[in-house]
Structure 1
């Protein structure tokens, strides 16, 4: 595997946008940071299994979308008289999901009104169903399966009597200092190819709302949510720790929306690094299991939908402890 260069060497493609890793593996690479998942990192994950406990990390596909532009799942059953078939119609980003590399580009790059995805793909090509490159089928041929760690931010903040996150505010950001402190206190050791899960408590917060309150949240001028901070220090930390994929229980991993005219984690991670972002994962039971065992590292498996050219996919993820 190509050695991981220092963050200071970015961008790899000097003609490309800031912090890109385009061409690090080869010019035709479609796996991005998933290249860091090796047989060794998978075996390290397997070695964390001591209890034989499996934990579901997926919200129901019927989970009400938190974004007004995304429609809820529709489930139809057709009875032929002697057997049943069913049909599902859903937005792949309405519930727990992996964002693919064709989901979110660098904004207004290389100039105003231009949008550039991983590897330099244009928005015209990324929106063309006849073009399959960089689709989520790459998350199947190279499964997001490895050793993983949970950073349980609400538990950490509560333990230290620190201000809790406001699930519905983008000013409620998880700093690099907090991430590092949680890593140290949890005894987590992050290595190349590992997957990072960050719990914010968003799932509990949204599920405590009535349907009317949820609708009102979606009607706000800005549909804000908490998450990880977005800055160069954060990107460097993710890069140099060799993290292969990230996921959280909030809608965007980072606090959203990001400030206008600034780079976001979505731009740098998806379009720059080729780093999959997971959103709206259900981390409630995993948090309980980790607290009970006082262990925050486990084996993580995910096998998304094998949709060639797909934009996003349900993760079908589980943790095994």
Structure 2
């Protein structure tokens, strides 16, 4: 495996955008997988050793989970009956429910100039939007399933334990700081090593599920209808993720980071997806995982995810589980 240089070495491609890791992986197969190259056989075996209770936990919301973003259509489920048997016909946006964002989802905005959008590896928006182009698709998350040791940082629980101000699920004004992530990791004895997956709970899922259909529609009609909690987008946060060797991130909120980010600054989506080649998981169902981790005082576990094998796909349901 290619050795990973420190964050201070970024950008790898000096002619590319800030913080990019383009050209770090020399073989085509490695390049397609980005940070998932850090998940070696040794890392996977380390994840297996984290199984102590034999408890399997689903991390996926139903596919018919109401879309958080008004622009995304809900699941359409039809049953085709031939008279003696039935078939399912599903039509859905892969980003309406629990999902992995692939590397063709979100580019550097207005780079290298206004009106230009550049994805991981320098792919432009015309390539990324072409179904005939398969490079950097989510099929890579199926050909090499995302399987590793993972850690839960349960931010609402940490804040409650210390009588700190709770998170506001539908606001981007007070994002989760790097300092809070670090203190939460220390509180729950989380020791992140290269190749591990980081999962951050915000409580967003519980908040959105507590709303009536009318209240959900009103949220979408706000001036910024997709406003939501998440981690902060700062250079120090990106440095921390890079230098720890985190291979993928996921959360129960719509964007992992606080959204929308300031329009005049880089976002985690730009740096992680288009720069690092780091998969971002969104709207993971962390309710039972949170309960079981608290019950056993155990925040490190084995994680497996087999996405849809769609060549050139943009995003995919993760079909993810945690095994404690």
Normalized against structure 2, the TM-score is what? Answer: 0.98
Q: Which moved more, 1:72-81 or 1:230-239?
A: 72-81
Residues 44-83 of structure 1 aligned to structure 2 (within 5 Å): 44-83=46-85
The residue that corresponds to 2:2 in the other structure is 2
Alignment partners' CA distance in 1, 2:188 and 2:147: 22
Alignment of 1:106-255 (within 5 A): 106-222=108-224, 223-255=226-258
Q: Deviations over 1:23-75 (max 9, x none)?
A: 10116311100000000010011001111100000000000000000000011
Equivalent of 1:286, from 286, 289, 298? 289
SS at match of 2:146: coil
Q: Please, which of 99, 102, 107 is the counterpart of residue 100 of structure 1?
A: 102
TM-score normalised by the chain length of structure 1: 0.99
Q: 2:266 aligns with which of 263, 268, 275?
A: 263
Unaligned runs of at least 5 residues, structure 2: none
* The 10-residue stretch of structure 1 (25-34 or 140-149) with the greater mean CA deviation from structure 2: 25-34
> Aligned partners of 1:137, 1:89: CA distance in 2, in Å?
19
CA distance in 2, matches of 1:305, 1:220: 33
**Aligned-pair CA distance for 1:219:** 1.1
Task: Give, in whole Å, the separation in 2 of the partners of 1:116 and 1:289.
Answer: 41
Of 312, 316, 321, the residue aligned with 1:313 is 316
Instruction: Give the corresponding residue for 1:40.
Output: 42
In structure 2, the residue matched to 1:30 is 32
Cα distance in structure 1, aligned partners of 2:205 and 2:150:
20
State how far apart, in whole Å, the 2-side matches of 1:125 and 1:203 are.
Answer: 34
Tell me the SS of whatever aligns to 1:269: helix
- Render the CA deviation track for 1:244-299: whole Å, top value 9, x for unaligned: 00000000000000001210000000000000000000000000000000010000
- More moved, 21-30 vs 186-195: 21-30
Q: Which runs of 5+ in 1 are unaligned?
A: none
Give the equivalent residue in structure 2 for 1:16.
16
Query: How far did residue 239 of structure 1 move?
Result: 0.2
Root mean square deviation of aligned Cα: 0.6
Rounded Cα–Cα distance in structure 2 between residues aligned with 1:7 and 1:308: 31
SS in 2 for 1:154: helix
